[in-house]
Structure 1
Amino acid sequence: MKTAEIKLLVTLDDQNMPEQITWQSTDGNNEDAVPVKAMNLAVWDHNYKNTMHINLWTKDMPVDEMKRFFHETLLTLGDSFLKATGETNIIEDLRDYCAHFADKMEITR
Protein backbone atom coordinates (compact mmCIF):
# COMPACT_ATOMS: atom_id res chain seq x y z
CA MET A 1 0.00 0.00 0.00
CA LYS A 2 1.20 3.51 -0.84
CA THR A 3 0.84 6.52 1.44
CA ALA A 4 1.27 10.22 0.81
CA GLU A 5 1.55 13.18 3.14
CA ILE A 6 0.29 16.70 2.58
CA LYS A 7 1.89 19.28 4.81
CA LEU A 8 0.44 22.75 5.39
CA LEU A 9 2.38 25.40 7.29
CA VAL A 10 0.67 28.62 8.36
CA THR A 11 2.70 31.50 9.77
CA LEU A 12 0.58 33.81 11.93
CA ASP A 13 1.13 37.38 13.05
CA ASP A 14 0.61 38.54 16.66
CA GLN A 15 -3.16 38.84 15.96
CA ASN A 16 -3.27 35.21 14.71
CA MET A 17 -3.85 36.37 11.13
CA PRO A 18 -2.13 34.30 8.42
CA GLU A 19 0.94 36.04 7.04
CA GLN A 20 2.20 33.12 4.99
CA ILE A 21 0.80 29.75 3.93
CA THR A 22 2.90 27.01 2.33
CA TRP A 23 2.06 23.49 1.28
CA GLN A 24 4.09 20.45 0.38
CA SER A 25 3.23 16.95 -0.80
CA THR A 26 5.26 13.76 -0.72
CA ASP A 27 3.34 12.51 -3.77
CA GLY A 28 3.77 15.53 -6.01
CA ASN A 29 6.39 17.50 -7.83
CA ASN A 30 6.85 20.04 -5.05
CA GLU A 31 9.64 18.70 -2.85
CA ASP A 32 10.04 22.21 -1.44
CA ALA A 33 7.22 24.04 0.31
CA VAL A 34 5.18 26.11 -2.16
CA PRO A 35 3.83 29.48 -1.00
CA VAL A 36 0.12 30.15 -1.55
CA LYS A 37 -2.17 33.07 -0.71
CA ALA A 38 -5.35 31.14 0.19
CA MET A 39 -6.60 27.64 0.94
CA ASN A 40 -9.84 25.78 1.55
CA LEU A 41 -9.75 22.38 3.21
CA ALA A 42 -12.87 20.34 3.85
CA VAL A 43 -13.00 16.86 5.36
CA TRP A 44 -16.01 14.63 5.97
CA ASP A 45 -16.42 13.20 9.47
CA HIS A 46 -18.29 9.93 8.89
CA ASN A 47 -18.97 9.36 12.60
CA TYR A 48 -20.68 12.73 13.15
CA LYS A 49 -22.00 13.07 9.58
CA ASN A 50 -20.66 16.59 9.13
CA THR A 51 -17.98 18.56 7.34
CA MET A 52 -15.06 20.24 9.03
CA HIS A 53 -13.49 23.20 7.25
CA ILE A 54 -10.33 25.26 7.34
CA ASN A 55 -10.53 28.35 5.14
CA LEU A 56 -7.52 30.66 5.33
CA TRP A 57 -6.03 33.47 3.30
CA THR A 58 -3.08 35.74 3.87
CA LYS A 59 -3.46 39.41 4.70
CA ASP A 60 -2.00 40.36 1.33
CA MET A 61 -4.35 38.21 -0.78
CA PRO A 62 -5.71 40.58 -3.46
CA VAL A 63 -9.51 40.81 -3.64
CA ASP A 64 -9.56 40.21 -7.41
CA GLU A 65 -7.58 36.98 -6.89
CA MET A 66 -9.92 35.95 -4.04
CA LYS A 67 -12.91 36.32 -6.37
CA ARG A 68 -11.21 34.15 -8.97
CA PHE A 69 -10.13 31.63 -6.31
CA PHE A 70 -13.75 31.21 -5.17
CA HIS A 71 -15.00 30.97 -8.76
CA GLU A 72 -12.49 28.25 -9.65
CA THR A 73 -13.18 26.44 -6.36
CA LEU A 74 -16.91 26.33 -7.11
CA LEU A 75 -16.24 24.97 -10.60
CA THR A 76 -13.84 22.35 -9.26
CA LEU A 77 -16.28 21.28 -6.56
CA GLY A 78 -18.90 20.80 -9.26
CA ASP A 79 -16.52 18.65 -11.31
CA SER A 80 -15.73 16.55 -8.24
CA PHE A 81 -19.41 16.19 -7.34
CA LEU A 82 -20.20 15.06 -10.90
CA LYS A 83 -17.40 12.50 -10.84
CA ALA A 84 -18.47 11.20 -7.41
CA THR A 85 -22.23 11.04 -8.01
CA GLY A 86 -22.96 11.23 -11.73
CA GLU A 87 -25.61 13.90 -11.02
CA THR A 88 -25.52 15.85 -14.29
CA ASN A 89 -28.65 18.02 -13.93
CA ILE A 90 -27.57 19.85 -10.80
CA ILE A 91 -24.05 20.35 -12.19
CA GLU A 92 -25.51 22.20 -15.16
CA ASP A 93 -27.27 24.49 -12.67
CA LEU A 94 -24.07 24.99 -10.69
CA ARG A 95 -22.12 25.84 -13.85
CA ASP A 96 -24.82 28.35 -14.79
CA TYR A 97 -24.48 29.90 -11.34
CA CYS A 98 -20.67 30.00 -11.71
CA ALA A 99 -21.08 31.91 -14.98
CA HIS A 100 -23.41 34.33 -13.16
CA PHE A 101 -20.90 34.63 -10.31
CA ALA A 102 -18.10 35.40 -12.79
CA ASP A 103 -20.24 38.08 -14.44
CA LYS A 104 -21.18 39.69 -11.10
CA MET A 105 -17.59 39.60 -9.86
CA GLU A 106 -16.28 40.81 -13.21
CA ILE A 107 -13.95 37.83 -13.53
CA THR A 108 -12.37 37.48 -16.93
CA ARG A 109 -10.47 34.46 -18.12
Structure 2
Amino acid sequence: MKKAEIKLTIELDEQNVPENILWESTDAQNKEALPVKSMMLALWDHNYKNSLRIDLWTKDMPVDEMKRFFYETLQTMGDSFLRATGEEAIVEDLRDYCAHFAEKMELTDGNAPHSALKG
Protein backbone atom coordinates (compact mmCIF):
# COMPACT_ATOMS: atom_id res chain seq x y z
CA MET A 1 0.00 0.00 0.00
CA LYS A 2 1.30 3.42 -0.96
CA LYS A 3 1.31 6.19 1.64
CA ALA A 4 1.69 9.92 1.26
CA GLU A 5 1.89 12.61 3.91
CA ILE A 6 0.89 16.24 3.75
CA LYS A 7 2.62 18.44 6.29
CA LEU A 8 1.42 21.91 7.29
CA THR A 9 3.62 24.28 9.25
CA ILE A 10 1.97 27.36 10.72
CA GLU A 11 4.19 30.11 12.11
CA LEU A 12 2.29 32.29 14.61
CA ASP A 13 2.91 35.71 16.09
CA GLU A 14 2.58 36.56 19.80
CA GLN A 15 -1.25 36.70 19.48
CA ASN A 16 -1.37 33.31 17.70
CA VAL A 17 -2.20 34.93 14.35
CA PRO A 18 -0.63 33.10 11.39
CA GLU A 19 2.36 34.91 9.92
CA ASN A 20 3.42 32.12 7.57
CA ILE A 21 1.80 28.95 6.30
CA LEU A 22 3.98 26.32 4.66
CA TRP A 23 2.89 23.03 3.15
CA GLU A 24 4.73 20.06 1.76
CA SER A 25 3.87 16.59 0.53
CA THR A 26 5.88 13.40 0.37
CA ASP A 27 4.15 12.73 -2.97
CA ALA A 28 5.05 16.06 -4.59
CA GLN A 29 7.75 16.45 -7.22
CA ASN A 30 9.08 19.50 -5.37
CA LYS A 31 10.13 18.27 -1.92
CA GLU A 32 10.61 21.65 -0.26
CA ALA A 33 7.94 23.40 1.81
CA LEU A 34 5.95 25.93 -0.20
CA PRO A 35 4.51 29.12 1.29
CA VAL A 36 0.80 29.95 0.95
CA LYS A 37 -1.28 32.84 2.27
CA SER A 38 -4.46 30.93 3.09
CA MET A 39 -5.79 27.39 3.54
CA MET A 40 -9.05 25.59 4.13
CA LEU A 41 -9.04 22.02 5.33
CA ALA A 42 -12.30 20.11 5.61
CA LEU A 43 -12.60 16.59 6.97
CA TRP A 44 -15.68 14.40 7.32
CA ASP A 45 -16.26 12.70 10.68
CA HIS A 46 -18.26 9.60 9.79
CA ASN A 47 -19.05 8.75 13.43
CA TYR A 48 -20.59 12.12 14.28
CA LYS A 49 -21.82 12.89 10.73
CA ASN A 50 -20.31 16.36 10.65
CA SER A 51 -17.37 18.18 9.19
CA LEU A 52 -14.23 19.31 10.93
CA ARG A 53 -12.62 22.43 9.50
CA ILE A 54 -9.49 24.47 9.78
CA ASP A 55 -9.52 27.81 7.99
CA LEU A 56 -6.37 29.90 8.29
CA TRP A 57 -4.92 32.90 6.52
CA THR A 58 -1.86 35.00 7.16
CA LYS A 59 -2.28 38.50 8.50
CA ASP A 60 -0.82 39.90 5.28
CA MET A 61 -3.31 38.09 3.01
CA PRO A 62 -4.73 40.82 0.74
CA VAL A 63 -8.53 41.14 0.76
CA ASP A 64 -8.71 40.96 -3.04
CA GLU A 65 -6.81 37.66 -2.96
CA MET A 66 -9.11 36.36 -0.19
CA LYS A 67 -12.13 37.12 -2.40
CA ARG A 68 -10.48 35.28 -5.27
CA PHE A 69 -9.54 32.37 -2.98
CA PHE A 70 -13.18 31.96 -1.87
CA TYR A 71 -14.35 32.15 -5.48
CA GLU A 72 -11.85 29.50 -6.58
CA THR A 73 -12.76 27.30 -3.61
CA LEU A 74 -16.48 27.48 -4.40
CA GLN A 75 -15.78 26.61 -8.04
CA THR A 76 -13.59 23.62 -7.20
CA MET A 77 -16.06 22.41 -4.55
CA GLY A 78 -18.62 22.23 -7.36
CA ASP A 79 -16.19 20.24 -9.50
CA SER A 80 -15.51 17.84 -6.62
CA PHE A 81 -19.20 17.45 -5.81
CA LEU A 82 -19.98 16.66 -9.45
CA ARG A 83 -17.25 13.98 -9.58
CA ALA A 84 -18.40 12.50 -6.26
CA THR A 85 -22.16 12.48 -6.86
CA GLY A 86 -22.89 13.11 -10.54
CA GLU A 87 -25.45 15.76 -9.47
CA GLU A 88 -25.18 18.02 -12.52
CA ALA A 89 -28.27 20.18 -11.89
CA ILE A 90 -27.25 21.39 -8.45
CA VAL A 91 -23.66 21.95 -9.58
CA GLU A 92 -24.98 24.16 -12.39
CA ASP A 93 -26.85 26.14 -9.70
CA LEU A 94 -23.60 26.47 -7.75
CA ARG A 95 -21.81 27.68 -10.89
CA ASP A 96 -24.57 30.28 -11.34
CA TYR A 97 -23.99 31.39 -7.76
CA CYS A 98 -20.24 31.54 -8.40
CA ALA A 99 -20.87 33.87 -11.33
CA HIS A 100 -23.02 36.04 -9.02
CA PHE A 101 -20.30 35.94 -6.34
CA ALA A 102 -17.64 36.93 -8.90
CA GLU A 103 -19.79 39.86 -10.03
CA LYS A 104 -20.54 41.06 -6.48
CA MET A 105 -16.88 40.75 -5.46
CA GLU A 106 -15.88 42.58 -8.64
CA LEU A 107 -13.90 39.63 -9.97
CA THR A 108 -15.55 39.93 -13.38
CA ASP A 109 -13.10 42.55 -14.65
CA GLY A 110 -10.97 39.87 -16.28
CA ASN A 111 -9.76 38.37 -13.00
CA ALA A 112 -12.31 35.54 -13.00
CA PRO A 113 -12.19 32.69 -15.49
CA HIS A 114 -14.80 32.75 -18.26
CA SER A 115 -16.60 29.80 -16.61
CA ALA A 116 -17.65 32.22 -13.88
CA LEU A 117 -19.07 34.65 -16.34
CA LYS A 118 -21.47 32.28 -18.08
CA GLY A 119 -25.03 33.47 -17.84
TM-score normalised by L of structure 2: 0.90
Structure 2 residue 94 is the aligned partner of structure 1 residue 71: no
Partner of 1:33: 33
Q: How does 1:39-58 map to 2 (within 5 A)?
A: 39-58=39-58
Partner of 1:3: 3
**Segments ≥4 residues shifted beyond 6 Å:** none
Deviation (angstroms), 1:30: 2.5
Coordinate RMSD, CA, aligned: 0.6
Aligned-pair identity in percent equals 71
TM-score normalised by L of structure 1: 0.98
CA distance, structure 1, for counterparts of residue 50 and residue 10 of structure 2: 25
Partner of 2:21: 21
CA distance, structure 2, for counterparts of residue 49 and residue 58 of structure 1: 30
Partner of 2:93: 93
Would you say how many aligned residue pairs link Structure 1 and Structure 2? 109
CA distance, structure 2, for counterparts of residue 105 and residue 29 of structure 1: 35
**SS of 1:78's equivalent?**
helix
Whichever residue aligns with residue 38 of structure 2, its letter is A
